[in-house]
Structure 1
Amino acid sequence: MSEYIKLESDKISEGVKTIMDLGGHGLLRCVQCGACSAVCPGVKAGFPVLCRMLIKKILDGQLEEIIEDSSSWGCQACNRCTEVCPQGVRPQEVVFAFRRYQANDLAFSTSAITSQMNLHAYGHAVFTDARELRAKVGLPPEAPTSAYNEKAQKEIQTLLDNSPMGELGIF
């Protein structure tokens, strides 16, 4: 029985270290209060393994079991989770670290292909052309983002092309 517990302990330690090494530094500060999930648009949209649940599964040593889950790709990087976290976990960073883990193992969700293609093309995972609406409300038609900055787009494309994501051949 103690070997089983040791095996699970090793699995937990390895998973936690993996995510922390990929940028999820606050992972161990999580107390599972659920504040992050309460404000997460991805959780509200039905992605089950985001914020609190993603952290719980990592802390329970289930990293390999959830590598194929597409929920992490539902994160829109709004940063609401980080703003409300009372422990300074920075859940968005944990989600992005998990995405890196998935990408490094080429466990890329097919549901995320459109958003990744948009990221490659425009520098935004979710992109709509809002020039007309911006002009109607008195803003310059083009937002000051990578969507309208060719140099920034090229830099993002270079980063993606030279990452594990580039190996997938979708760009």
Structure 2
Amino acid sequence: MSETAHEPRNKIAHEPKSTFSQEIAAQPGGEYIRKCIQCGLCTASCMVANYTDKYRPRKMVQKILIGEREEVLSSELPWLCMTCRLCEERCQEGVSLAEIFHVVRDIAAREGHIPKVFKDTVNLVMKDGWLLKGSYTDFEQDDRTSLGLDPDLNWNEEFMKKVKARYFGKEPVEGGEQE
């Protein structure tokens, strides 16, 4: 049977040796770590890697494979994956870095390694439901009025109180932690 461009050559290329890579591989989505042959096509395809030299998906996978657990989990780099899946589209082995990095972020979050910028963003939205509340201008208010909508955007604060009560049971405390 011949292979197609959509069918990966390796079903499983190797069994990861480090305990960290085995921990990743044991999670749903983390099994893709077994297929990576470290070719670097993911980094060459990555929009984020093209924007900044510090984000290199291949190097992050390499660090997972050799067991640099604390360095990977405490880094902000796994959080920079935009899950565009462009690397996955181009990978000859069918590796899904988005899935691998989702597992890494899940472990990191459970262990309290969430970059401050992400905590701050969540706290900002949880405060009143707006990410960029200060960016709304009089023009938006005029547009809302012309459409017959309430120009006052403060209604979202009441909505957020209901969301917090329903899903969190109480308002989150500063820092995003529950008491």
Q: When the two structures are superposed, what TM-score results if normalisation uses the length of structure 2?
A: 0.57
* Alignment-derived partner of residue 20 in structure 2: 15
Structure 1 Cα separation of the partners of residues 103 and 174 of structure 2: 19
Question: Is the counterpart of residue 70 in structure 1 residue 69 in structure 2?
Answer: no
* Alignment-derived partner of residue 31 in structure 1: 37
Structure with more of its chain in helix, by fraction: 1
Amino acid across the alignment from 1:15: F
Structure 1 runs, 4 residues or longer, greater than 6 Å off: 118-121
Shift of 1:27: 0.3
| RMSD of Structure 2 on Structure 1 (CA) | 3.8
Question: Is the counterpart of residue 88 in structure 1 residue 94 in structure 2?
Answer: yes
Shift of 1:117: 5.1
Deviations 1:101-150 (A, max 9, x none): 111111111132355458879xxx9xx99xx9xxxxxxxxxxxxxxxxx9
Structure 2 Cα separation of the partners of residues 31 and 118 of structure 1: 40
Q: When the two structures are superposed, what TM-score results if normalisation uses the length of structure 1?
A: 0.60
Structure 1 Cα separation of the partners of residues 94 and 32 of structure 2: 7
1:1-171 to 2 correspondences below 5 Å: 12-22=17-27, 23-46=29-52, 48-116=54-122, 158=167, 169-170=175-176
Structure 2 Cα separation of the partners of residues 49 and 60 of structure 1: 18
Contact 2:38/2:62 (CA < 8 Å) preserved in 1?
yes
Identity across aligned pairs (percent)? 25
* Alignment-derived partner of residue 142 in structure 1: none
Contact 1:15/1:59 (CA < 8 Å) preserved in 2?
yes
* Alignment-derived partner of residue 4 in structure 1: none
Partner-residue secondary structure (3-state), 2:31: coil
Q: Give the unaligned 5+ runs of structure 1.
A: 1-10, 133-149
Q: How many residues align?
A: 131
Structure 1 Cα separation of the partners of residues 25 and 32 of structure 2: 8
Partner-residue secondary structure (3-state), 1:106: coil
Amino acid across the alignment from 2:85: N
Deviations 1:62-82 (A, max 9, x none): 112222110111111111111
Structure 2 vs 1, CA of residues 103 and 86 (structure 1 numbering), >3 Å: closer, same or farther?
A: same
Structure label with greater radius of gyration: 2
Structure 2 vs 1, CA of residues 34 and 168 (structure 1 numbering), >3 Å: closer, same or farther?
A: farther
Amino acid across the alignment from 2:18: S
Amino acid across the alignment from 1:26: Y
